[in-house]
Chain A
Amino acid sequence: MMHWIILPVVLPALLAPLIAFALRHDITLARTASVAGTSILLAIALGLTILAADGTTHVYRLGDWPAPFGIVLVLDRLSALMVLLTSALALVVLIHAVTTGWDARGRHFHALFQFQLMGICGAFLTGDIFNLFVFFEVLLIASYGLMIHAGGKDRMRAGLQYVVMNLAGSTLFLFALGTLYASTGTLNIADLAVRMPEIPIEEAALVRVAVILLMIVFAVKAALFPVQFWLPATYANAPAPVAALFAIMTKVGAYAILRVHTTVFGPGSPGTEDLAGTWLFPAAIVTIALGAFGVLGARRLMPLIAFSVVGSMGTLLVAVAVFSQTATTAALYYMVHSTFAAACLFLVADLVVTRRRTDTLQPEPATIQNGLFAALFFAAAIAMAGMPPLSGFLGKLLVLDALREPGLIGWAWSAILVGSLLTIVGFARAGSILFWKSTATTGPSPEPALDDGAEKDPALDLPPPATARQVAPAMLALAGLAALAVFAGPITSYLEETSAQLFDRQGYVDAVLSPVEER
């Protein structure tokens, strides 16, 4: 049996205590271990993606117990893709945190970071819903620590709100699991997929309650409309690298919705197949609107980006809510794109805010390297807003293309297009205040010279200009977005097969529930 599948969970799980207990007094050692571990994780994820690329669903049975009774990890193309996305993002974010010194502003950053990776990878790989809950808790408890990393009044208060919100969500998750178990007698995803079609529609009331509860829980994670309010405050107050890493956490919610509603409650389950689309689609439309208006109305840079994340989740979930193969392909492409776009924006914003000392959107003296930051922000913002030539445009095009059915086209197209327009306006406003007006307020000097900002406010020792190493992670994320746009053809055909596999319910069930005799 292949043991590679469990490595994305085991490696961070072993590395984190090592960093926390043995290396906590030496930040250099901790950094080395953390970066090395994340690099190895990326290599493993690449290996797993290659392993899964042939379309077989690999199953790892913990303790070799057969599936409905034991715990299984399932590696198919989707989970391999998500693990790869996680590890690539984590490496970029980690390099940023190390080079900018964020990891040294509080304690145990690297240990918490690894625990977070363990939870995220586990959530993507797990094959039953209760372990999904457990891995959610692992990634959440690490994210609580990361969220309040470096402390501060506003951060603590926002962190408290975030923790309470997620604890309430976890309780709801358990209620959903209890209801689901009471009505079906299993929590294994494949087993649920077998039993769900057997439930006649007139007896499905309890299951429908469970499905809606589950959807609310995943919607909390994915920052969907009625329960999105925790996200802007949390992301805006979290340390920027952490907010960049959190870009993948909303995708965990989207992944869970996608996985559960295609494999278990999706087409073929008479009692529940209509539920997700009916409720998800309007909620996602409202989410887009909320994100767009939030971007327009934000008075600080970090909330602005946070609202753009809300908007991108709305776009993603509009595509998910259709549950067709083309729409899922578009959703997956957009998911990869929006993860990197959001992370890139947060990283750039961190570089800017560190040098401006405030992220309020008001004209301030230009920072040194104003042009560089402006260019980076511009590139990241057009990626996020969905302008050509970066992958945001292609992603939104794919989503629009997939939503051509007469019942959807009006709402979806107008929401996405108007939302994009508002997002562009919001970003343009922010960018011009941050980078254009700032050059106008630099004072008597006729041109914004390099040391002008430093003389403007001698009381504050302004941080040194960003070194190449500090800019590199944001550049790397941008390069990823560019690569995503350049190789859109092969990537889309890969994702098409991924969504085909996702909708191949029988293949998943057969792979997971097959008896253990091969080896």
Chain B
Amino acid sequence: MELIVASSIGVLTAGGVYLLLRLRTFPVILGLALLSYAVNVFLFASGRLAIDQSPILSRYGDASYTDPLPQALVLTAIVISFGMTAVLVMIGLGAYLESDSDRIDIAPETGPETEDTDSKNEGAA
């Protein structure tokens, strides 16, 4: 199980980072979603992996339980990442409709005044 969890986190993260580097709105949103899944699973695993155990310490001697804190953290993280994704979709849509381009980086041709802060990925698009 450790192998499956670890490799799924790895694959999700790799996919997320790859999509993030595409610098187009839709892939970036998908990439951030993948990353947030990866981080949720990772947070979940940070309390150690346990099967068939409740997150409550039993009163009657049985000391085996799964750590409840990561579950609370994951819950919060999921809620926040949902909200953030919604905001991102709206802002991405707004930016697309305003500027007719779905590039994330500010391309130099949008105006002479924009700073070339992130022009290294010109060729990737």
Contacts and interface: CB of A to CB of B under 8 A. Distances in A.
Interface of A: 130, 134, 137, 141, 144, 148, 151-154, 156-161, 163-164, 167-168, 170-171, 174-175, 177-179, 181-182, 187, 229-230, 232-233, 236, 298-300, 303, 360
Given A144-B91, A156-B91, A164-B104, A177 B73 contact: yes
A174 B43 CA distance: 7
Given A157-B110, A181-B47, A233-B106, 6 more contacts: A141-B87, A154-B111, A163-B88, A168-B20, A168-B32, A181-B43
B28 A164 contact: yes
Contacts of B117: 229-230, 232-233
B106 A175 contact: no
Interface string B62-78: 00000001100100110
A157 B114 CA distance: 11
Top 6 nearest A-B pairs (CB, nearest first) are A182-B46, A156-B95, A178-B46, A174-B39, A160-B95, A178-B43
Interface in B60-106: 69-70, 73, 76-77, 80-81, 83-84, 87-88, 91-92, 94-95, 98-99, 101, 103-106
B122 interface: no
11 contacts: A137-B84, A153-B99, A153-B110, A154-B99, A156-B98, A163-B84, A163-B87, A170-B84, A171-B35, A174-B39, A182-B45
A161 B104 contact: yes
B17 to A, nearest CB: 9
Nearest to A294: B115
B52 interface: no
A86 to B, nearest CB: 22
A167 B48 CA distance: 26
A134 B76 contact: yes
Most buried by B among A157, A161, A360: A157
A480 B111 CA distance: 37
Contact of A154 (B42, B105, B110): B110
A159 B91 contact: yes
A284 B84 CA distance: 30
For chain B, give the interface size range. Answer: 35 or more
A152 B104 contact: no
A287 B110 CA distance: 27
Contacts of B38: 171
Contact of A130 (B32, B73, B84, B98): B73
A25 B39 CA distance: 40
A438 B33 CA distance: 50
A182 B49 CA distance: 11
Contacts of B2: none
Contacts of A130: 73, 76
B46 to A, nearest CB: 4
Contacts of A161: 104-106, 118
A151 B114 contact: no
Contacts of B112: 299
A253 B10 CA distance: 28
Contact of A181 (B73, B87, B101): B73
Interface of B: 16, 20, 25, 28, 32, 35-36, 38-39, 42-43, 45-48, 69-70, 73, 76-77, 80-81, 83-84, 87-88, 91-92, 94-95, 98-99, 101, 103-106, 110-115, 117-118
Nearest to A180: B46
Contacts of B106: 154, 157-158, 161, 233
Nearest to B70: A181
A67 to B, nearest CB: 14
Contacts of B114: 154, 233
A472 to B, nearest CB: 30
A283 to B, nearest CB: 18
Contact of B88 (A167, A171, A178, A232): A167
A137 B78 CA distance: 12
Contact of B99 (A156, A163, A181, A182): A156
A418 B106 CA distance: 30
Contact of A171 (B39, B46, B91, B92): B39
Contact of B36 (A171, A236, A299): A171
A151 B98 contact: yes
A157 B70 contact: no
Contacts of A141: 83-84, 87
A48 to B, nearest CB: 27
Contact of B113 (A156, A163, A181, A300): A300
A34 B47 CA distance: 42
A360 B112 CA distance: 10
B88 A164 contact: yes
A49 to B, nearest CB: 31
A137 B38 CA distance: 18
B99 A303 contact: no
Contact of A303 (B47, B48, B94, B115): B115
B49 to A, nearest CB: 11
